[in-house]
Chain A
């Protein structure tokens, strides 16, 4: 079955079995290996991608269901090869990871949060990443990374598109 996907800003076409998940199509058809299989039943969040900016579990979505949507994978976040986004860099600064397996999904969940929230509280961050299980870090340095990224994004001269869901709160 032919499927038209827009992945990281590029139109991609594939001929896939209707039963094939978005996760498997991203990895096998498009060689986007940054999206990882963890539980394949929608709990761990390792396979998280953004669909029209919202975090989605690519293991629970068939690729044919994603037809026509804007999909962002971890490969779509780095501005250029060897160059990190503010959030990716913040994870490096606080060591918000260890084995790196949950990290792409975790960063995409954080990215979605920070697209909409200027100054998230610790609770906001915990809620945003609570669907992503990390077995290595105990989440402390992940939460620090997201806080650090939020601080840097607030002072960065980078417009963010939406910022409507929550009232804008100034930094402490």
Chain B
């Protein structure tokens, strides 16, 4: 750690988030607000079949409509572009923006219609005639795994995208020696982040400058590179405008297929073209669903509740194309034992294709489902041993004095103090009185229960899961960057090199640069150059920006501080260690140079600069991920550098006549190290928790037996409203990370990573007196009500398979 928390002026203080001002005035600049001269609009005709051969497409009636400019098919687009990037080594799982030859899920985009207005384009899609020949299809992951299941990609040979078993430590020995074992299955239902702004992209092509300009609602690493590759153009012919505000993403806004489609049309038609998904396009065919995962778990433990070893089989239903789905099985390897001292783990990661929509990265990148499985295991060990659930956790937690702690799968956890966080939360709650309250609710005729969950948020993303799951991938860096310029009048401008979707990156870098240079952050301008003027960035994924952008800003500011100090010392003709930098000025024992004097020397008075000093005041820093840089070895790798901790306690009551879970109290203990802006971290935690509540109780993309998506509007895919989300109490703790500049860790996924486990545990504690339990998320009101009614009538419970 390079900075002393006791001396913070701006870091960790109660400062406003600078981005908020423009948004409360309705002055955000979202992709739908980008005005381009001569803009044409796209509407999409989707497949009505989960799998079908495309026999013919007749667009003549659509093209005859006034105002319709073009109708694009998959064949034309595939001839003009390369397949979209696929991170795995599965070359025959080819993906294009529009279906080529056959469709692979209901809702898949088949034809794009371009017209003067979006309404006209939608009208014209109704005139396009597509003849299909339906093909066999498969929706269920276990069915898809069978050798005789209909292959979604016949050329690939099977539906298996990934089937990899890792053994870390002496799993067989530990199981053989274990006095006790238990096994169970839990299932994480298919949900997603579903931002309120759908994905949108506008593009224009200038044939005289060979330039593709792109404005998009994007949150994606290496986006310009992927556009260039797919369109077969040099990367420096792609200019992505990063000053577009993104209306929520939480992982999913990676609209590469939308972008390639629109960019091709802009090039083909010589006019700017825009596609803003409507809600149906977004939910059914926007390729932004999240993990859908079956966990089969075996646990080896003893009568003291000590968990020695685990076997985890995770079977994920990727949907029709590889997307990022398989890698979402890889990232949780970096925290595969959660906050526990589990000595060995066997992990079988299986990803299969099916005739469902494609997955995209979702908040936590597979960590929330994994945490749900691990926490369910700990609860089951508690039930089996008769120990309190919290006692089992306390006994298995890694202790504060054991950090840095190497887990069996190769990651070293940076720091933590789990026992203290739990103690603080329990003291805050007065846990004994919460148990009394639960008993009082039970006595009043309600079903009542308490759920607890503890978990980690790996943060500071690198992409170690890529080389781990695909040995042809040799990526060992996932850098981020910052540039600072002090102009000739002494004003500071900082550039950041990605879009933001609500994370407050402008506030982050202004706070950090202000902290280092000891100047008021509100006077610092923060800008986002277009991608051709950008330094390398891997975008705000994997809870990384406090660590990576914050770190890059810190180091860039340090370089400028060093230069200013050197200039000052040179004027006084003393060594650098004989002067002090304070509040923008440099002083020796008897002399001082003010900020503007130092700036003037740097910008105008070369003759006064130390020999070999570049004129001007500019610095850049490209930051490597702390602890990153090595390739996997023997199936082990250092995943993310930092590990935040969260601990949830939920008191819930269910009226047995209604089946509706009513959260009476929700307390979360949160330790993400040094907090840079308390408002931002609080918002992330509360928002993530609400999102986790949705995944636990409400949200699911449900397909019927005919392969059609049934929950494709907000009428039936239910997002939590202010009525569903309870008031949440946050208990703070700070265990600084030794690997970051201020001791900060990530918080972008906080709340979401543990809430589903905690809420599920609370529901199960509520219904346990009836002898029933739920092993699949989301646990809908209807499922609870039905199971309670059945139990009361003595019928056995039907469990999800």
Q: A141: which B residues are within 8 A, CB to CB?
A: 679, 682-683, 686
Check A130 for interface membership: any CB of B closer than 8 A: yes
A95 touches B680 (CB 8 A): yes
B721 touches A130 (CB 8 A): yes
Neighbour of A130 across the interface among B249, B687, B722, CB < 8 A = B722
A135 touches B728 (CB 8 A): no
Check B688 for interface membership: any CB of A closer than 8 A: yes
Q: Taking A39-B279, A95-B679, A100-B247 as contacts, is the C-beta distance between A138 and B196 under 8 angstroms?
A: no
A135 touches B248 (CB 8 A): yes
B194 touches A91 (CB 8 A): no
Of the candidates A44, A130, A132, the one having the most CB atoms from chain B within 10 angstroms of its own CB is A44
B279 touches A138 (CB 8 A): no
Q: A91: which B residues are within 8 A, CB to CB?
A: 20, 24
A39 touches B713 (CB 8 A): yes
Annotate A95-120 by CB proximity to B: 1 below 8 A, 0 otherwise. Answer: 10111111110010000000000000
Of the candidates B24, B720, B725, the one having the most CB atoms from chain A within 10 angstroms of its own CB is B24
Quick one: which of B212-249 are within 8 Å of A by CB? 245-249
Check A34 for interface membership: any CB of B closer than 8 A: yes
Neighbour of B247 across the interface among A41, A101, A132, CB < 8 A = A101
Partner-contacting stretch, out of B90-98, B340-348, B367-375, B496-504: B496-504
A98 touches B504 (CB 8 A): yes
Q: Taking A33-B32, A141-B682 as contacts, is the C-beta distance between A99 and B690 under 8 angstroms?
A: no
Check B119 for interface membership: any CB of A closer than 8 A: yes
Query: How far apart sit A32 and B407, CA to CA, in the bound complex (Å)?
Result: 54
Q: Taking A74-B26, A138-B725 as contacts, is the C-beta distance between A99 and B689 under 8 angstroms?
A: no
Q: A77: which B residues are within 8 A, CB to CB?
A: 25
Annotate A18-38 by CB proximity to B: 1 below 8 A, 0 otherwise. Answer: 011000000100001111111
Check B429 for interface membership: any CB of A closer than 8 A: no
Interface of B is mostly: loop
Query: How far apart sit A113 and B33, CA to CA, in the bound complex (Å)?
Result: 28
Q: A36: which B residues are within 8 A, CB to CB?
A: 30, 32, 196-197, 247
Chain A's interface size range is 35 or more
A101 touches B26 (CB 8 A): no
B728 touches A84 (CB 8 A): no
Neighbour of B682 across the interface among A44, A74, A95, CB < 8 A = A95
A101 touches B248 (CB 8 A): yes
B17 touches A95 (CB 8 A): yes
Check B657 for interface membership: any CB of A closer than 8 A: no
Neighbour of B197 across the interface among A38, A78, A140, CB < 8 A = A38
B679 touches A74 (CB 8 A): no
B728 touches A138 (CB 8 A): yes
A84 touches B713 (CB 8 A): no
B679 touches A135 (CB 8 A): no
Check A7 for interface membership: any CB of B closer than 8 A: no
Query: How far apart sit A143 and B195, CA to CA, in the bound complex (Å)?
Result: 20
B32 touches A137 (CB 8 A): no
Neighbour of A33 across the interface among B26, B197, B751, CB < 8 A = B26
Nearest Cβ on chain A to B431's Cβ, whole angstroms: 23
Nearest to A78 among chain B residues (CB) is B25
B722 touches A143 (CB 8 A): yes
A41 touches B682 (CB 8 A): no
Neighbour of B721 across the interface among A39, A125, A133, CB < 8 A = A133
B683 touches A40 (CB 8 A): no
Q: B193: which A residues are within 8 A, CB to CB?
A: 135
Annotate B189-210 by CB proximity to A: 1 below 8 A, 0 otherwise. Answer: 0000111110000000000000
Check B333 for interface membership: any CB of A closer than 8 A: no
Q: Taking A101-B30, A104-B26 as contacts, is the C-beta distance between A44 and B714 under 8 angstroms?
A: yes
Check B393 for interface membership: any CB of A closer than 8 A: no
Neighbour of A103 across the interface among B24, B195, B727, CB < 8 A = B24
Quick one: which of B671-705 are within 8 Å of A by CB? 679-680, 682-684, 686-691
Given A43-B713, A99-B195, 8 extra CB contacts under 8 A: A39-B713, A40-B278, A91-B20, A103-B26, A127-B723, A134-B196, A137-B687, A138-B689
Q: A residues near B, CB below 8 A?
A: 17, 19-20, 27, 32-41, 43-44, 46, 73-75, 77-78, 84, 88-89, 91-95, 97-104, 107, 122, 125-127, 129-143
